[in-house]
Structure 1
Amino acid sequence: MTQSQKFLDNAENCAELAERAKDAPTYRRYKLMEAGWLALAREQDWLDGVTPPHRRAS
């Protein structure tokens, strides 16, 4: 299992926890954590050479 896959699994877990949240602040907290794990997975894929770097528009 790659490091980025572990991050994606954590993101999925946070999404599931968000759906079971009993109040709005908890839901938002888990959604923010999910977004963070997804960002880490994307970054790790870039670091591992799975995805190419994005070029900035000039």
Structure 2
Amino acid sequence: MVNDYGGHYLVVGPAPKPIEGTWDSSGFVVIEFPDVDRIRQGTTLPSTGGPVRSERTRRG
């Protein structure tokens, strides 16, 4: 999906080991898009009009 909107992955990795505090995720991703409009297009599901983030959250 990222590629469909002109984005590409800069970093994909496992959870970092924080020097202080906690990290409550199993990994992290850094994605680059050519402009803000492409980000907005890529973060809204056309079928529901809702954010992709909620879909990811449902999967756990």
Alignment TM class, shorter chain as reference: under 0.3
Q: Which has the higher contact order (CA 8 A, sep 6+)?
A: 1
The TM-score with structure 1 as length reference comes to 0.27
- In terms of fraction of residues, the more strand-rich structure is 2
TM-score (norm 2): 0.26
